[in-house]
Structure 1
Amino acid sequence: MAGAGVLATAALVLSACGSDDSNDGDAGGGDSAAQGFDPNEEVTLNFTWWGNDDRAERYNQLIEAFNEEYPNITINGTFTDFPAYWEKRQTEAAGGGLPDVWQFSDSYLRQYGESDLLLDLGPYDEHIDFSAFDDGLLQTGQLEGTQYSLPTGYSAWAVFQNDDLLTELGVEPYEGGTDHATYVDWMADVTDAGDGSVYGGSDYTQRIQGLEIILRQQGKNLYTEDGQLGFTEDELRDYWNSTADVRDGVTVPQSQLEEIMPISGFGGNLTASEMSWSNFIGGYLADSGASSITIAAPPTENPDAKDLYRQAGLQMAISKSTEHPEAAALFLDFVVNSEQAGEIFGTTLGFPASSTKLAGATLEGPDAQVADYLDSVADRIGDAPPVPVDGYGSLEQTFWDLGKAIGLGAISVDDAVRDFFDEASVVLG
């Protein structure tokens, strides 16, 4: 989510069709979907994603590789930061102008799927190889049996640490997997050593994923199977209050974070650690300029709990309104399945979810770190949570915004809890 604030555009014009022998999916519905499809037709597709400059450079390389096989398909690519991305999608959805192919999130699966705005990918199995995914990962893009999206990869929640800053400050890395109090003590040591220039971390209670891990340690989830919140006002109040002392001199002041947005405190070298998804390592290296980053397991009060899970939230989808569904399916398949995608992205879009994409990835350097990290927390990996509730994406952003407002002193915890549940009652009906 620590993406570049500027909007970049890349348009690559492609001119005669290449072969599709790498995309021989299961026979079936694709025949009817491809009826009337001319593979040599000049086609233009709009493609968009959220992220930073590092991700944009990789996507542009991938589009160039796609160009070599499908030179008759023009890909107009744009990107922005995470919050602005979803604001723009909501505006486009209201006006019927969603992109042909777009980076998607399972947080919005119910919202866009139940609104009939996403293309059912099932009939396009002539162009998309579904067999490269295991069933569990396929299901992350399914709603009531309909395949609306496909994951680019999967991640797990983690603690990132800037090795250069820690070496400079003379502080050993956080070992990971301790209780929260031990992690807070470590952050305090870094902040003391940084003497106002570097802080141990940011207020981790701003992110709803931190609450999710605590709930999962108790056998709960953020939301229930029937589409309601899985936690109470008291549980949220306790969560936000748990870092009241941490905000007072241990974590980086929220006012300083506001000055460098949309870059995160970790990406901007204000903090030596930050919790996020394991696939963020590429973006963090690019933003911070660090020579190396350590990945450690997040804190837990119950080391035996299955509190982590394979998060395949970063997906690819096609708008139902696209005028070129077959060409869009070809491009989506290239993004999620091609060996070139594995080679170019490594683990920066998550550990490759498809076997063909994984075959192209060379797991060395940061990519090997992600693979090693996922292996190291295998015993903490449990079942994936239920499909996110309709409107979860907006609730996630509301949670984050309220957490930042608490950090700025603009709202009390009690008022923030009230505002979040008021919003949830509207969103969830």
Structure 2
Amino acid sequence: MRSTRFLGRRWTAPTVLLLATALVATGCGGGGEDGPVELRYSWWGNADRAELMREAIDLFEAEHPDITITPTFSEYNAYWEKLSTEAAGGGMADVAQMDISYLREYADRGLLLDLSELEGNGLDTGDLVDGFEQAGVIDDARYAVPVAANTFALFYVPELFEAAGAPAPEPGWSWDDYHEAIAAVTEHTGGEPYGGADYTGLIWALELQLRQEGGELFTEDGRLAFDEPRLAEFWNETAGFREDEIVVPAAQYVQAQPVSPLGANIGASEFNWDNFLARYEGEADAEVALAPVPTSDPERSGQYLRPSMMLAASSQTEHPEQAAELIDFLINSPEVGELFGGNRGIPATNVQRESARLDGVDRAIADYEEERAADLRELPPVPPAGMGSLEAEFIRLSEEVGYGRLTPQDAAGEFFAFADRTLSS
């Protein structure tokens, strides 16, 4: 009797002896670890990514004939609903795609495997790009490994900015410069489109400003690192623009959803993560370009390289070594890097960045990150458990401010009360 699990491996004499003893003790096999190991792998994406993932899995299984992969994928929102249900029932996949916004939540609940002991023993994290050495690490334990990267960016329509004589985005330009630019565009176009979306609806724009001031969004222990007056000041920053209809009005912003103002052609600029360029290119009628973010301090852009997606292993997996091998392959294999290109974002390891074929939108994103590399700073603290709920409440309250139903001060009070309940639960 010979198990296919042993094919393609080199075995030392002591290992063979131990295996032979085990086979005798179990009556020559009886199941368990005698057959190929099966790993369940869960991730989010669409049909295009599913086909690429199937090819990547085929490559992995060809190199690891003792491991078979059973993949499942869902659209982003459905993915988290399913993962939460599976985790609660003890049936989480062996390897799961992870978002940094949910990392601490799953780690704090004891649902993720600490991969630290497997680093250098099946999992190589030594080729991660600069700035990602601690990505996925919480309290000295590695719970996830980044797959790809992005950074915050300003998206704008160059044609409209130039026609309005608006200041051109350049490294180190100020928030006043940006405000002047979007006001010029709105005046030039008569609001069709408006010069920009109201960026105070984005918690990540607040984080950007806080980091430019030398602060952070969260503390290391997962509390808010700013106060109510600072949040009220942020929401009040574009009050005059809302009153004068220089930025996209709240009603139009909400009506356009799920398409963004830039994609819906009602705004000429907005902030987002750089990997959204592909989406804007597909939605907007005009050419969309990436530009440096404005800053309150030319020495601090506030930007950092952020994991756009990560890979984690379940603490309940019966096959931690094989789970680590799969993660290692998906982040380090040059063939996988060439296969995916920029589909998952710009790769998080140097070897995959070198092997990835980046054209068009992907090339533009990679160039942007390379141009901004000198201004990127260390990763902020990992967001606390409940980050998803906090962001949703931030969006809701910013819309109430936009409609004029809440003052910035009242909205800030409500947000801090919500955060106190959420972060203490």
With the shorter chain as reference, the TM-score category is 0.7 to 0.9
| In 2: Cα distance, 1:288 partner to 1:334 partner | 36
Q: 1:261 maps to which residue?
A: 257
Superposition pairs of residues 99-248 of structure 1, within 5 angstroms: 99-124=93-118, 126-133=121-128, 136-162=131-157, 174-176=168-170, 177-248=172-243
Point out the structure with max Rg over C-alpha: 2
- Given the superposition, is the C-alpha separation of residues 268 and 329 from structure 1 closer, same or farther in structure 2, using an over 3 Å criterion? farther
- SS of the aligned residue for 1:130 comes to coil
Structure 1 stretch displaced more, 98-107 or 210-219: 98-107
- Given the superposition, is the C-alpha separation of residues 383 and 40 from structure 1 closer, same or farther in structure 2, using an over 3 Å criterion? same
1:224-268 CA-partner distances (Å, limit 9, x unpaired) = 233321111000000000011222312222323333432322233
Say whether the 8 Å CA contact 2:127–2:349 is kept in structure 1. Answer: yes
- SS of the aligned residue for 1:221 comes to coil
Q: 1:383 maps to which residue?
A: 378
Superposition pairs of residues 308-327 of structure 1, within 5 angstroms: 308-312=303-307, 314-322=309-317, 325=320
Q: Does 1:61 align with 2:52?
A: yes
Task: Find the partner of 1:70 among 43, 61, 66.
Answer: 61
Say whether the 8 Å CA contact 2:213–2:296 is kept in structure 1. Answer: no
Say whether the 8 Å CA contact 1:157–1:275 is kept in structure 2. Answer: yes
- Given the superposition, is the C-alpha separation of residues 425 and 39 from structure 1 closer, same or farther in structure 2, using an over 3 Å criterion? same
Letter of the 1:63 partner, please give it.
R
Letter of the 2:282 partner, please give it.
A
Structure 1 stretch displaced more, 58-67 or 217-226: 58-67
State the Cα distance separating 1:107 from its structure 2 match.
Answer: 2.5
Structure 1 stretch displaced more, 142-151 or 322-331: 322-331
- Given the superposition, is the C-alpha separation of residues 216 and 313 from structure 1 closer, same or farther in structure 2, using an over 3 Å criterion? same
- SS of the aligned residue for 2:75 comes to strand
Structure 1 gaps of 5+ residues are: 1-15, 22-35
| In 2: Cα distance, 1:374 partner to 1:103 partner | 23
Say whether the 8 Å CA contact 1:45–1:328 is kept in structure 2. Answer: no
| In 2: Cα distance, 1:91 partner to 1:416 partner | 32
- Given the superposition, is the C-alpha separation of residues 109 and 80 from structure 1 closer, same or farther in structure 2, using an over 3 Å criterion? closer
State the Cα distance separating 1:316 from its structure 2 match.
Answer: 1.7
Q: How many residues align?
A: 391
Say whether the 8 Å CA contact 1:165–1:272 is kept in structure 2. Answer: yes
Q: 2:416 maps to which residue?
A: 421
- SS of the aligned residue for 1:64 comes to helix
1:70-107 CA-partner distances (Å, limit 9, x unpaired) = 274331221234xx654554454444444443331222
Task: Find the partner of 1:285 among 276, 281, 290.
Answer: 281
| In 2: Cα distance, 1:20 partner to 1:410 partner | 67
- SS of the aligned residue for 2:379 comes to coil
- TM-score of the superposition, structure 1-length normalised? 0.79
Q: Does 1:303 align with 2:298?
A: yes
- Given the superposition, is the C-alpha separation of residues 108 and 73 from structure 1 closer, same or farther in structure 2, using an over 3 Å criterion? closer
1:40-68 CA-partner distances (Å, limit 9, x unpaired) = 45x46252326xx5xx5134313223224
1:130-167 CA-partner distances (Å, limit 9, x unpaired) = 23225841411112222111111222211112457768
Q: 1:374 maps to which residue?
A: 369
| In 1: Cα distance, 2:298 partner to 2:308 partner | 24
- Given the superposition, is the C-alpha separation of residues 219 and 321 from structure 1 closer, same or farther in structure 2, using an over 3 Å criterion? same
Letter of the 2:247 partner, please give it.
T
State the Cα distance separating 1:403 from its structure 2 match.
Answer: 1.7
1:327-366 CA-partner distances (Å, limit 9, x unpaired) = 5444433432332443344345443211232232124432
- Given the superposition, is the C-alpha separation of residues 418 and 279 from structure 1 closer, same or farther in structure 2, using an over 3 Å criterion? same
Q: 2:16 maps to which residue?
A: none
- SS of the aligned residue for 2:281 comes to helix
Task: Find the partner of 2:357 among 355, 359, 362.
Answer: 362
Q: 1:346 maps to which residue?
A: 341
- SS of the aligned residue for 1:140 comes to coil
| In 2: Cα distance, 1:37 partner to 1:401 partner | 51
- SS of the aligned residue for 2:422 comes to helix
Q: 1:45 maps to which residue?
A: 40
- Given the superposition, is the C-alpha separation of residues 95 and 422 from structure 1 closer, same or farther in structure 2, using an over 3 Å criterion? farther
Counting aligned pairs with the same residue, the percent is 37
- SS of the aligned residue for 1:320 comes to coil
- SS of the aligned residue for 2:307 comes to coil
Say whether the 8 Å CA contact 2:153–2:292 is kept in structure 1. Answer: yes
| In 2: Cα distance, 1:211 partner to 1:47 partner | 32
Say whether the 8 Å CA contact 2:127–2:351 is kept in structure 1. Answer: yes
State the Cα distance separating 1:289 from its structure 2 match.
Answer: 6.7
Say whether the 8 Å CA contact 1:44–1:76 is kept in structure 2. Answer: no
- Given the superposition, is the C-alpha separation of residues 380 and 95 from structure 1 closer, same or farther in structure 2, using an over 3 Å criterion? same
Q: Does 1:252 align with 2:243?
A: no
| In 2: Cα distance, 1:171 partner to 1:89 partner | 49
State the Cα distance separating 1:211 from its structure 2 match.
Answer: 1.4
State the Cα distance separating 1:370 from its structure 2 match.
Answer: 2.2
Q: 2:23 maps to which residue?
A: none
- SS of the aligned residue for 1:245 comes to helix
Structure 1 stretch displaced more, 103-112 or 169-178: 169-178
State the Cα distance separating 1:424 from its structure 2 match.
Answer: 1.4
Structure 2 gaps of 5+ residues are: 10-31, 63-67
Superposition pairs of residues 396-407 of structure 1, within 5 angstroms: 396-407=391-402
Q: 2:21 maps to which residue?
A: none
Q: 1:270 maps to which residue?
A: 266
| In 1: Cα distance, 2:412 partner to 2:308 partner | 26
- TM-score of the superposition, structure 2-length normalised? 0.80
